Amino acid sequence: MFHGSIVALVTPMNADGSLDIKSYKDLLDLHIESKSDGIVVVGTTGEAPTVDFDEHIFLIKEAVKFIRGRIPLIAGTGANSTKEAIYLTQAAKEAGADACLLVTPYYNKPTQKGLIEHYKSLARSVDIPQILYNVPSRTSVDIENNTLIELSNIKNIVGIKDATGDISRIKALKPKINKRFCFISGDDLTFADFLEEGGDAVISVTANVKPFEIHQICEFIKNKDYKSAKAMNQKLGLLHKAMFIESNPIPVKWILSYLGLIKPYIRLPMVELDKAYEQILVKSLDEANA
């Protein structure tokens, strides 16, 4: 189910802070038409920390109803409270999501034992494919290799999104983990190298802007055409970097607004892109389009 280019979708919003569902559905259509291999809704890029529970579940339900099984849908349902993560994950299952993406608990910094018990509790509580999400730059906690090996033996824990950018980890882990387990890059800057090392997919921010290109790079690597993959990815190099010139999803929402695909709004405490960076983003887009 999980392969190739999976877009970490933004959540469009109106000037009053409400959800812009029309633009949301338009983006879902865009990614289906552009051959994205999957969609993540209400993840970090989808501003999960600032939508409330009702909105969070509504966004999942609307995506499921609109997609109608045309493409795998992964719902972001992680939380720093195990109870809340179980609630959101159960709601995603009831809505019809294909899988859930579960970020490590943030701020409270659980131990490795705490991570194991957190994820075991989620797996026991909700019978849906679950993808762990390791992004220590945001959460201040890392899923260590031995912890992942233990968790990978749980039947409905089916993969990991690794946003560390450390390619050595997949080299060390892949021979020790069941072949059914999916390795998914969560770092646009290094995803091509990750896939060449045996990764299965990328959950990409850049794919919001260049969905077909990220899909095509994944296809090239799948077919061992590394030369074509490298050439296409090099054109996106500046764009990959620009996506994180300020905290995600500030830059990607600015670019999508610049392209006329969404309105420019984002929820506090995030604010719109500093004008000092606008020309850098325009340049990165021009280079990607060249």
133 is catalytic: yes
Cα gap 97→122, rounded to integer Å: 16
Q: Is the pTM of this model over 0.95?
A: yes
pLDDT at residue 178, as a whole number: 86
Cα gap 186→202, rounded to integer Å: 6
Residues 133, 210, 263, 275: which is the catalytic one? 133
Closest listed residue to residue 77, CA positions, set 50, 61, 100, 57: 100
Which one-letter amino acid corresponds to residue 233? N
Residues 161, 230, 241, 263: which is the catalytic one? 161
Per-residue pLDDT of the chain (290 residues; tens, 9 = 90+): 799 999 999 999 999 999 999 999 999 999 999 999 999 999 999 999 999 999 999 999 999 999 999 999 999 999 999 999 999 999 999 999 999 999 999 999 999 999 999 999 999 999 999 999 999 999 999 999 999 999 999 999 999 999 999 999 999 999 999 889 999 999 999 999 999 999 999 999 999 999 999 999 999 999 999 999 999 999 999 999 999 999 999 999 999 999 999 999 999 999 999 999 999 999 999 999 98
Element (H, E) at 160: strand 157-162
176 is catalytic: no
